[in-house]
Amino acid sequence: MRLFIFLFVFLFISSQSFSQLKNSLNQSDYIVITVEQFEHAFDQLREIRESEGFKVYTILLKDIESEFPSVKSSESIRDFISYALTNWHDPKPKYILLAGDIEFIPSIRIASIFPTLVDSVSVDSYYAINKYENDIIPDIAIGRIPINNINEANIVTEKIKLFERNKNVYPQDLVLLADWSKNEGAVFNNMADNLIEDFNGSNWKINKHSAFEDTVFVNVKDKFINALNVGTMFVNYLGHGSYYQWSNGNLFDIYDIENLTNENFPFITTSISCDYLFDQQNDSTIAEGLIFGKDKGAVASIGSSGLNYASSGYGFISEFYKQIRTNNFGRIGDHLLNVQQKLTDEYSKRFTLLGDPAMTIQTKLIAGNVDIKIPDSFVLHQNYPNPFNPKSIIKYEISKTGYVTLGVYDILGKEITTLVNEIKSPGYYEVIFNGANLSSGTYFYRLQTGEFFSSKKMSLIK
């Protein structure tokens, strides 16, 4: 009998030690996936996120491969993420950081839009699609910091700290660089003008540099670099190019990074149409050069993995900036995820974030724009669609900055999940509730901020 008890205890302890990723005690809302040599590379960033209330879990790729064995490491990673999205609820995963270049942490390869140029490209956002659900919509915010050494991790961490501390002190809010070619004419210049028009009625300081309006490219380059050195929160490139330069006429390339002096104002870059490959193992890329530039360049970058259609890229990036305009305080991964969940086309999922998905962005409040006015009161709207299966959108309005919680409960009042649990500034918000793991029935969702609270009923029908 003693031998039986001993063997039972031994087997139980062994199963726990060899099943750490399935252990309920390790459920976390911020997951870092990395390799042994980078296990402590982002300890400073970990401390920052934990001070904000996140439960951070650093997971080694070898452990994922051990507990979720597959032919490819990328398949093991996706199996684990899908498992966590399906089974972790306390807390529910919200952010995933891939800490390492694809040499260390692989990406998912998918077919290129232009196979005559390149057959496939790396796209991280496919990791965020739960394979146990029927849809192909990302369910979690994911970003990659493609480090190759500890020094690069330290550079990015310092930039994140500086960016989040700077808040509204940036001299400029958005610098636009528009390409020109004989074939496209004024297409990219017009896209830039349309983006500027979207900001009408705001107090954003926007600076445009267009090769269509000044066809001497060296003049445009010099003015653009000078604008970056003045300091800006966002930089958006509209045009052709490759992973090492913007514009086939070379409006900006990896060598121009040396001329940047924006030490106190690291920016976020976005791009439309340009080839945004970040998986060139033997070559430097413009995105990585900007992110790892010490005391200069970018803190994060968003762009399409591989070439994309200009119209699709413009639709995605313009929606991203709409997210920024309508929510003056948020996290970059949430903004990106909201766009990917709203624009469900194939091209939207090709956009990759190089940066910390939980990095906060605080911009200037927009004034005088009816479309994005500040709500007069707190409001919780009825979910849509209702009834639903398995996802539904819950919208709410916040009229005063404060701590906001939004939870979902069963008919007995037991909390199912927490959808929102953080400080929100005045604005209009929406969140997607996923009931894939729940049975059909009636559920309630409840919004509370300060002394205000409101609840509504919704029906899940499978």
Any residues with CB less than 8 A from the CB of 17 and at least 6 apart, and which? none
| pLDDT tops 70 at residue 371 | no
User: 348 with 214, same domain?
Assistant: yes
User: 257 with 385, same domain?
Assistant: no
Question: For 43-47, 175-179, 294-298, 397-401, which range has the lowest pLDDT when averaged over its residues?
Answer: 397-401
Number of domains the chain is built from: 3
Q: Is residue 368 part of a domain?
A: no
| pLDDT tops 50 at residue 12 | no
The pLDDT score that the predictor gives to residue 96 is 98
Q: Is 54 left (phi over 0), alpha (psi -120 to 50) or beta?
A: beta
Q: Which of 38-47, 213-222, 234-243 has the highest mean pLDDT?
A: 38-47
Question: For 44-58, 200-214, 356-370, which range has the lowest pLDDT when averaged over its residues?
Answer: 356-370
What average pLDDT does the segment 409-433 reach? 87
User: 236 with 259, same domain?
Assistant: yes
Q: Which residues pair with 142 in a beta bridge?
A: 96
Q: Is residue 12 part of a domain?
A: no
CATH code, 454: 2.60.40.1930
The pLDDT score that the predictor gives to residue 5 is 45
In order, the DSSP letters of 160-188 are: HHHHHHHTT--SEEEEEEE--BTTTBTHH
- Boundary of a domain, candidates 112, 143, 174: 143
Burial class (CB in 10 A: 0-12, 13-18, 19+), 206: middle
User: 27 with 101, same domain?
Assistant: yes
Q: Is residue 3 part of a domain?
A: no
Q: Residue 12 carries which DSSP code? A: H
User: 319 with 392, same domain?
Assistant: no
Burial class (CB in 10 A: 0-12, 13-18, 19+), 368: exposed
At 154-166, the pLDDT tens digits run: 999 999 999 998 7
Expressed as residue numbers, the domain containing 177 is 153-362
* Whole-number Å distance between alpha carbons of 277 and 351: 10
CATH code, 199: 3.40.50.1460
At 186-197, the pLDDT tens digits run: 899 999 999 999
User: 256 with 401, same domain?
Assistant: no
Pair of tokens at residue 315: 């639709």
Burial class (CB in 10 A: 0-12, 13-18, 19+), 70: middle
At 320-369, the pLDDT tens digits run: 998 888 777 789 999 999 999 888 777 778 889 999 999 999 876 544 43
User: 121 with 236, same domain?
Assistant: no
User: 336 with 400, same domain?
Assistant: no
* C-alpha distances out from residue 186 to 122, 150, 215, Å: 31, 43, 11
The pLDDT score that the predictor gives to residue 19 is 60
Percent pLDDT > 70 in the chain is: 89
What average pLDDT does the segment 57-85 reach? 95
The pLDDT score that the predictor gives to residue 180 is 86
User: 395 with 431, same domain?
Assistant: yes
Please, what is the average pLDDT of the chain? 86
- Which is more confident, 18 or 449? 449
Q: Which residues pair with 253 in a beta bridge?
A: 245
At 85-133, the pLDDT tens digits run: 999 988 889 999 999 998 999 999 888 777 666 667 788 999 999 999 8
pTM of the model: 0.77
User: 318 with 209, same domain?
Assistant: yes
Q: Is residue 2 part of a domain?
A: no
Q: Is residue 148 part of a domain?
A: no
